[in-house]
Amino acid sequence: MSKNTLEVAIVTGAGVGIGLAIAHELAKSGVKVVLNDLAPTLTAEAVSKINSAFPQSCIGLAGDASDPEFIQRMVDTAVEHFGALTIAIPNAGITIYGEFLSFSPDDFKKVTQLNLGGSFFLAQAASKQMIRQGTGGAILFMSSVTGHQAHKNLAAYGMTKAGLELLAKTLVVELSQYGITVNAVAPGATVTERTSMQEDFVGIWSNITPLGKPAYPEDIAHAVAFLVSANARHITGQSLVIDGGWTSTSPSPYS
């Protein structure tokens, strides 16, 4: 990846929230974006929002980001439409709360198949394309503070997020020779459409976050855009926590 390469990204789970903010920030910086969400309506609306601000910068592809066949289709679409693929951000993920002793095999499969499997196989398919191109590139995994700090009823989810950070470190061994960087960001409490439905989410997290407020999607997007840019081409195998300082003290939101 270089400053002279046309940058083309796949961002999954980007119909709303952090994913949409990432796609928007990338388009703002001149990156062409293949935007994915499971819901066709959300995909189309998100693409329209981005293209209204940055014309012809984004196309949409709705589908299951945990399915290896669909993942390959996203990679092929990026190449067919924009001519290359240089950035992969497997943002799609699912959070299922549940006590460890009663967590079901079906819920465990859902969480691991998307959070781990979808991320692993998008990274794999994207890397193969970047190697064929000889352009290098950037892979960015979406972890969480729950991969650093225990959180009530999130054993399976936290496990997947910690696993993604180790995957980022491990892929450095195999992909650095091709000029592909691999990093992760670990957002803390972030105000999104989903979290806003939780009772007093902003108030609770403002009280226990050292900076006095939770994050917003743009806070995460700015960090992601840097880590996949040419300005970060010597940063790899790293995980960046973006939580306003919460993991420094880690007070429980359930107290």
Positions annotated as catalytic residues are 157, 161
Angstrom CA distances, 64 to 16, 53, 194, stand at 16, 27, 19
Instruction: Give the three-class secondary structure for 85.
Output: coil
Distance CA(136)–CA(208), nearest Å, equals 41
As a whole number of angstroms, the distance between CA 164 and CA 170 comes to: 10
Residue/partner pairs of 50-57 with CB below 8 Å, 24 or more apart: 50/23, 50/24, 53/24, 53/27, 53/28, 54/27, 54/28, 57/27, 57/30, 57/31, 57/32, 57/33
- If residue 87 lies in a helix (H) or strand (E), which one and from where to where? strand 87-89
For residues 168 and 182, the answer to whether their CB atoms sit within 8 Å is: yes
Radius of gyration for the chain, computed over Cα atoms and rounded to the nearest angstrom: 17
Q: What CA–CA distance (Å, rounded) separates 210 from 199?
A: 20
The DSSP code sequence of 179-213 is TEEEEEEEE-SB--TTGGGSTTHHHHHHHHSTTSS
